Amino acid sequence: MSTAIAFDWSPSDIGYITTTQPGLRTLIVGAGEAGRALARDLKHVDSFGLAPIGFLDDDESKQVVRRLPVLGTLHDLVAVATAQRIEVVVLAIPGLPWSTVHSMATAASRVGASVRHLPSFVSLLQRDVVGTDMHDLQAGSLIGRHEMHVVSPGVLATLQGRRVLVTGAGGSIGSELCRQVQGFEPSELLMLDHDESNLQRLLLELSGEAMLDTADIIVADVRDRERMNQIMRDRQPEIVFHAAALKHLPMLERFPCEGVKSNVKGTANVVQAALDHGVKRFVLISTDKAADPTSVLGATKQLAELVVKSSAGTSAIVSAVRFGNVLGSRGSLLSVLSEQLRNGEAVTVTHPDVTRYFMTIEEAVGLVLEAARMATGGETFVLDMGKPVRIVDLVTNFAHQMMLGDVNVRYTGLRPGEKLHEALFSEAELRVSTEHPRIYCTEQAEFPNGFDELLAGLYKAADHNAPKDVWQIMSRLLPNYSCSNGIPDLSIAAPYPDDY
């Protein structure tokens, strides 16, 4: 397949293509046998959630395929996706070189489109190509709404030519952030994580190599204040996305001191170092569990939001982003569900009526990038995620997509700190509209009296590994925190004396 062929028209010559088919506007890369079969299936089965608009192909003899136009070559991806408002790009060329896959995924991220792909050439030889062979599940039926891609062209102006640092870069959100940020041509992308295995996996995904000898990867722990200061001083990032955190709710209920050390003090270390060394924009990754928290995870994330918001009005534009549950992240519901189904086990659900807000990892990262662009200082951004989804319904839909039939569900009961239903905003927070119709924010909350002194006491209690004291002080810091451990005495003095 040659990449030197040029069509005698440009993507702008073709008008906007309308479609009556429901689903995300989809561009198919490759008008060969695999692409034609995919287009056939997508056009005949609405439940896939994808509406094909046209093809890209380097063969100039292909003009119309399965009644869909060939809109340009592979090199025209950005122009075509922009002109046609493409939301999903499906790669349907068996054996496409990794370098081409990487460059197309990078280009797609610049226009807010997600990339999906068909199986390898060997798989195509073994059976016919059908829509269900696509790498990603159709998220719409799982999250109860159409998947949204919120990245706007304005993000390019925010990121292009800037030095960008991502903490927790090897995690699910952090690694997707790195992939998408890379597509906006930063002058430098610094990827920080304390786990060298995560960094190796990320580097392999981004570059096809994992020599671990490049200057863009940094091994460091956000708990180390002096190390954070050193990195900010030496590398001079202009934008920081802070994704490093402990996130598993039951674990933090058992080890609250560790949650404080990473999620609160770690955030304070990073944001203070960023302010001290000229960072222009700082975005914290938070969670909907921070709204009227009932868990240590939610409480530590609300405190992290307050730590960041306390820096509003300084030299940096600071903001936070709250996510619901993210489909596809490591350790998330779908990964656990897949493992249970693969092993023939009963699927465990905490409660028959438990609901959660869900979003895809592409939506989550798109929201982070938009927050970096829209923030003026002190906001917490939240995506309008529609209605919450019953977990048991998601399990059923997932099994249906996997063609597994009925699933045996075993109910285990809500764990300490878990809510039956999550909220996106606390009862005391005001939902504020933004320039984006599906993104809201809440402005800076009032800080409790003695916030700084109480926070210092919290850090000291965590450093001394005193869980009861940590729970007590968090309850004083956050009047809306309903501690699952039922701490009876909240009269503890703060800060702790030096001889604690």
Domain co-membership, 425 together with 487: no
Residue 344 lies in a domain: no
Quick: pLDDT tens for 347-362: 888 899 998 888 878 8
Query: Alpha helices of 19-171 — where are they, by DSSP H?
Result: 33-44, 77-83, 98-110, 121-126, 140-143, 154-159
Give the 3-state secondary structure of residue 438.
coil
The domain that holds 105 is classified in CATH as: 3.40.50.720
Containing structural domain, residue 198: 154-328+355-389+420-442
Give the 3-state secondary structure of residue 45.
coil
Percent of the chain with pLDDT over 70: 83
Q: For 152, what's the count of Cα atoms within 13 Å in the CB-facing half-sphere?
A: 14
pLDDT at residue 225, as a whole number: 97
Continuous segment of H or E residues that includes residue 102? helix 98-110
Catalytic-residue membership of 387: no
Residue with the bigger pLDDT between 258 and 430: it is 258
Q: Is the pTM of this model over 0.75?
A: no
What is the rounded CA–CA span in Å between residue 236 and residue 238?
Answer: 6
**Last residue of a domain, which of 82, 102, 136?**
136
Domain co-membership, 289 together with 239: yes
What is the rounded CA–CA span in Å between residue 426 and residue 292?
Answer: 5
If one counts the domains in the chain, the total is 3
Residue 406 lies in a domain: no
Quick: pLDDT tens for 73-112: 998 998 899 889 898 899 888 777 777 887 888 788 778 7
| Residue 226 pLDDT level (bands cut at 50, 70, 90) | very high
403 Cβ contact partners less than 8 Å away, ≥ 6 residues apart: 132
Which amino acid is located at 159 in the chain? Answer: L
Which is nearest to 280 in space by CA: 443, 152, 156, 159? 159
| Residue 487 pLDDT level (bands cut at 50, 70, 90) | low
Cβ 189 vs Cβ 178: under 8 Å: yes
Domain co-membership, 376 together with 459: no
Residue with the bigger pLDDT between 448 and 445: it is 448
| Residue 18 pLDDT level (bands cut at 50, 70, 90) | confident
pLDDT at residue 72, as a whole number: 92
Residue with the bigger pLDDT between 230 and 122: it is 230
| Residue 493 pLDDT level (bands cut at 50, 70, 90) | very low
pLDDT at residue 309, as a whole number: 92
DSSP 292: S
pLDDT at residue 366, as a whole number: 85
Residue 476 lies in a domain: yes
469 pLDDT higher than 90 = yes
Q: Which of 43, 261, 289, 460 is catalytic?
A: 289
Residue 193 lies in a domain: yes
Question: Rounded mean pLDDT of 274-288?
Answer: 96
Which is nearest to 90 in space by CA: 70, 113, 67? 113
Query: N- to C-terminal Cα distance for the chain?
Result: 71
Mean pLDDT of the chain: 83
pLDDT at residue 127, as a whole number: 36
Quick: pLDDT tens for 77-86: 988 998 898 9
Domain co-membership, 112 together with 187: no
Residue 141 lies in a domain: no
Q: How many CB atoms lie within 10 A of CB 99?
A: 10
Residue 104 lies in a domain: yes
pLDDT at residue 119, as a whole number: 55
Residue 93 lies in a domain: yes
Comparing 192-206, 207-221, 295-309, 445-459, the range with the smallest average pLDDT is: 207-221
Residue holding tokens 């430098």? 188
Which is nearest to 399 in space by CA: 360, 341, 327? 341
Q: What is the DSSP string of 366-426?
A: HHHHHHHHH--SSEEEEE---S-EEHHHHHHHHHHHTT--S--EEE--PPTT--SS--SS-
Domain co-membership, 103 together with 231: no
157 pLDDT higher than 70 = yes
472: tokens are: 């007590």
Domain co-membership, 251 together with 120: no
| Residue 41 pLDDT level (bands cut at 50, 70, 90) | confident
Domain co-membership, 376 together with 460: no
Domain co-membership, 257 together with 233: yes
136 pLDDT higher than 60 = no
Domain co-membership, 108 together with 227: no
Give the 3-state secondary structure of residue 239.
strand
Residue with the bigger pLDDT between 457 and 343: it is 457
Which amino acid is located at 106 in the chain? Answer: T
Domain co-membership, 131 together with 161: no
pLDDT at residue 491, as a whole number: 42
Domain co-membership, 215 together with 129: no
Which is nearest to 494 in space by CA: 478, 472, 479? 472
Residue 345 lies in a domain: no
Domain co-membership, 385 together with 498: no
